[in-house]
Amino acid sequence: MKIIYFFTLLILVSSVLAQTPINDYNDVTYLEMKFTVSGSFQLIETSNSARTSEATTNLTFFPKDEINQKILSTTPSSVPSSVITKKNSTIGYFWQNPKPGEYKFSLDSNVRVNNVLVIVDKKIDFPLENVETYYTQPTEYIDINEDIKKQAQELASGEDDLYEVSIKVADWIQKNIKYDLSTLTAESVQKSSWVLKNKEGVCDELTNLYISMMRSLGIPARYVSGMAYTNLKNDWGPHAWAEVYFPDKGWVPFDITYVQYGWIDSSHIKVKTSVDSGEPAVRYNWKSVDAEFKPSKLEVKTSLIRTGEKIGKQLEIKIKPLIKNVGPGSYVPIEVEIINDNNFYFPVTLTFLKAPELTEKNYKALVLKPGENKKIFWIATIPKKTEENFIYTSKLEAEDNFHNQAYSEITFSNNEKIITLEEANEMIKENSLSTIKKTSQKLAIDCSSDEFGLIDENLNIKCNIRNKGNIQLFGINVCLEEDCKEISELQISDSVYIEFILKNNNKGEKNIEIVAKTNNIEVSDIIKFEVIDSSGLEIKNFVYDSEVDYNEKTKIEMDLLVKVPVKELEVFVNDIKVSEIPELSKSKKILIMAEASEFVSSDKIKLSIKFKDKQGKQQESINEYPIKILNVPWYVKLLAFLHLL
C-alpha cells in the first residue's frame, strides 16, 4: 500500500501542548498517545465445597502495528500475578487455582499514529470485479435487506468511480441519519436495517449502515473499533469507523461521524478490525464448581504524550460570491473552487466558518481526481431588515480538513438589487463545471454443464447472469432456444442463477447457445458437450511386465477414466475381484499386485470392469493383454495341459 505523509518544512520541532481545549488534531503530522485498557472479574464461592481450577482472560482490544500506526511499547500486568502470553492478536492472562476475590488485568501501550493518506493515483472502476467475497456478505448486525439495497443502488446509479461511490454513500448517511447519543442505540448496537428505518444512531450504527450499503454494491468493507479524540468532551472516547477495500491500493478509512472520508485524523487509534460490529473485546474462560464468575465492564483511556508539527497546505481553495453587492433579503450564490495539484486522488471536506445564514449545512465532502479543479456552491440568505444609507459587510471564511482557509466578503444595502432564490440557482447553473455521468449498461452471462451426457438423458445447464454496469437493469430475458426465463430486475453488481433442462438428447457433439437480452443489450454463451451412448469408460496408461518369472509377483498399473459418472465399479483380473470403487466421476489410478502363477494356463491378463451407469444399468468392459510366464515347472505345465483337455 502506498501512502503519503503530511509534513511541512517550516517547523522542524514538535509543538508544545496547548493548555486550552483542542477542537481537533486534523492538522498535525502525528500524535503520540498512551492507550490503557483494564478490566476485572470476581470469583465468588456459593458453597463450602466451591473450587476453581483455572481462570483465563483473552483480551483482543488493544492497538497493533498498522500502515499508519506504530506501537512503541506494550506493558501488560495483572493483580494477582498471572501467566501472561501473547499469541497473534490476543493477550492472555491465566490464573491457576485462583482463590475467591477480585482479579484485575490491564495493558498499557504507547502508540504513534501518523497523519497519512492512502495513495490512489488512478481511477478504480465501479462496479468491482473478481473481489474476495468475505467482506461483502451480510452479518448479524451489518445486515442487508431490500431497503438497504434500494438506497445504495439509487446513490451508485450512474457512477463509475469507486472513490466517488464510497464518498457519496458516506455523505448520504451523514446527512440523513441523525447522530443521537440520547437514543437507546448508545447502550446497545442496532442492526443496519433498524438504523435505516429509524434514521438515527451513534457511530457504531452509522458505520454498520455504511458497511451494509457498500457490501450490497459488491464493495468489500469492514468494521474498525478503536479510540478517537472528540471535542464534545475534549478527550478520547471509544469510536468506530469503516474501511473500504480499494483493489491494488489497500484498505481506505471512512469515518461517517467525523465526516472524514478516505482519510482520518491522527487521533484515531485503530484497535480491532472485524467483519461484524458485535464481536467481543474480551473473552473469559474458567473451570469451577459452586463458584460464581462476575466480570466488570472494560475501561479504556487514552492520553496525549506529544504532537507532531503542523501540516502544510495540500489544496488550493478560493471563495467567490457570484454577486458581491446585493439588496436586503437576497439569496447570494457562493462559489468555492478547490484545486488539487497532487498526482493522486484527494478527499476533502469544505466547511464554512463564517457566512450569513446558509440554505443547507455548512460543510460538503468531495474527492478530487489527480490534477482536478472542482467548484461547489452554497447559497447565503441576507437579512431583510437594513438601515437606510448603511452598507453592510459580511465576512466569508471556509476551510478544508487541515484548517487551510480562504476568505472573501459580501456587501449589502438598500440601494442594491434584491436577488431571488431562482436567480441565485440560475447563477450557480451558469458557473458550474459541467459533469456528465457515464451510465454503463453491461450484462454478463456464464453458463456451465457436464462435459458429457448419455443418450435420452436430461442435461442440466446453469447460467449466472450478472449486472456489470452502473445502473439497474429490468426485464432481462434469458433463453435457450424457445425456453425463456425472465429476470424482472437486476441491481448493480448483483447476479442471478438460471437453470435450464435440455431433454431427449441424441448422440454427438453439441453446441448450445444461451442468450440474455434487455433493451439494447444482448449477450450469449455457448455450451459445448458430447452425448454418448455409454459411460465412456477408458483404460489409460496400462503398464505391466509382459514377461515375468513364475515365482515372482507382477505389478499392474492403470488409470480408469469415465466421461459420465458411474457407481459400484469392480475390477476383476482373470475373474478374481481385485478392486472396488463405490463411485467414479473422473479418473482413478489402480495398482494391482498379482502372482505370476495365476496367468500360466492362459498366457494372458483378462481385465474385466463391471459397473452401473448413470441410469442404473449394469455394464461390463473386457480387455485382454498377453503375458509370458518364464521358468514354469514341468509339472505345472502338465497340469495346465491336462486342464485344457
The CATH number given to whatever domain includes residue 485 is 2.60.40.10
Q: Which among 482, 509, 532 is the end of a domain?
A: 532
Give the Cβ contact number of residue 299 at 10 Å: 11
Q: How large is the average pLDDT for residues 564-588?
A: 88
Q: Clarify whether residues 474 and 506 are in a common domain.
A: yes
Q: Clarify whether residues 332 and 421 are in a common domain.
A: yes
- Which pLDDT value is given to residue 437? 60
Q: Over pLDDT 70: what percentage of the chain?
A: 92
Greatest alpha-carbon span in the chain: 140
String of DSSP letters for 6-67: ---SS--SPPPPPSSPPS--TTBSEEEEEEEEEEEEEEEE-STT-EEEEEEEEE--S---BT
- Which pLDDT value is given to residue 57? 95
Reduce the DSSP state of residue 529 to 3 states and report it. strand
Q: Is 270 within the bounds of a domain?
A: no
Domain that holds residue 327: 316-431
Q: How many domains does the chain have?
A: 3
Q: Give the Cα separation of 237 and 165 in Å (integer).
A: 29
Q: Clarify whether residues 325 and 417 are in a common domain.
A: yes
Q: pLDDT digit string (tens) for 529-560?
A: 878 777 778 888 999 888 888 888 888 999 99
Q: Which among 476, 506, 532 is the end of a domain?
A: 532
Grid coordinates of 395? 465576512
Lowest average pLDDT, out of 8-17, 244-253, 553-562, goes to 8-17
Q: pLDDT digit string (tens) for 172-212?
A: 999 999 887 655 444 568 899 999 999 998 888 999 999 99
Q: Is 277 within the bounds of a domain?
A: no
Q: Say whether pLDDT at 638 is over 80.
A: no
Q: Clarify whether residues 415 and 463 are in a common domain.
A: no
Q: Clarify whether residues 528 and 542 are in a common domain.
A: no
Q: Is 227 within the bounds of a domain?
A: no
Q: Give the Cα separation of 142 and 276 in Å (integer).
A: 6
Q: Give the Cα separation of 346 and 316 in Å (integer).
A: 12
Q: Is 31 within the bounds of a domain?
A: no
Q: Clarify whether residues 517 and 586 are in a common domain.
A: no
Q: How large is the average pLDDT for residues 576-584?
A: 89
Q: Is 542 within the bounds of a domain?
A: yes
Q: Clarify whether residues 407 and 457 are in a common domain.
A: no
Q: pLDDT digit string (tens) for 279-312?
A: 888 999 999 898 899 999 999 999 999 999 999 8
Reported as a pLDDT band with limits 50, 70 and 90, residue 436 is: low
Q: Clarify whether residues 322 and 416 are in a common domain.
A: yes
Q: How large is the average pLDDT for residues 259-274?
A: 95
Reduce the DSSP state of residue 263 to 3 states and report it. coil
> Higher confidence at residue 643 or residue 389?
389
Q: Clarify whether residues 524 and 577 are in a common domain.
A: no
Provide CB contacts within 8 A for 596, sequence distance 6+.
Answer: 548, 549, 550, 551, 552, 553, 554, 629
Q: Clarify whether residues 632 and 581 are in a common domain.
A: yes
Reduce the DSSP state of residue 400 to 3 states and report it. coil
Reduce the DSSP state of residue 365 to 3 states and report it. strand
Any idea which residue has 450557480 for its cell? 428
Reduce the DSSP state of residue 240 to 3 states and report it. strand
Q: Is 423 within the bounds of a domain?
A: yes
- Which pLDDT value is given to residue 387? 85
Contact status, residue 548 vs residue 625, Cβ threshold 8 Å: no
Amino acid at 61: F
- Which pLDDT value is given to residue 81? 95
String of DSSP letters for 286-350: EEEESEEEEEPPPEEEEEEEEE-PBP---SEEEEEESSSEE-TT-EEEEEEEEE--SSS-EEEEE
Q: pLDDT digit string (tens) for 119-142?
A: 999 999 999 988 899 999 999 999
Q: Where are the beta strands (DSSP E) in 493-537?
A: 495-502, 508-518, 521-532
- Specify the DSSP element, H or E, that contains 455: none
- Which pLDDT value is given to residue 6? 42
Q: Give the Cα separation of 321 and 408 in Å (integer).
A: 8
Any idea which residue has 471535542 for its cell? 231
Q: Which among 482, 517, 532 is the end of a domain?
A: 532
Cα 139 to Cα 144, 186, 208, 475, distances in angstroms? 8, 20, 10, 30
Provide CB contacts within 8 A for 599, sequence distance 6+.
Answer: 574, 605, 627, 629
- Specify the DSSP element, H or E, that contains 472: none
| Residue 79, burial from CB neighbour count under 10 angstroms (0-12, 13-18, 19+) | exposed
Q: Clarify whether residues 460 and 490 are in a common domain.
A: yes
Q: Is 114 within the bounds of a domain?
A: no
Q: Give the Cα separation of 87 and 382 in Å (integer).
A: 63
Q: Clarify whether residues 600 and 507 are in a common domain.
A: no
Phi, psi at 639, each rounded to 5°:
-60, -40
Provide CB contacts within 8 A for 138, sequence distance 6+.
Answer: 144, 212, 215
β-strands 221-230, 235-246 pairing: antiparallel
Q: Is 54 within the bounds of a domain?
A: no
The CATH number given to whatever domain includes residue 419 is 2.60.40.3880
Any idea which residue has 451510465 for its cell? 439
Give the global pTM.
0.75
Cα 625 to Cα 324, 542, 558, distances in angstroms? 102, 10, 13
Reported as a pLDDT band with limits 50, 70 and 90, residue 365 is: very high
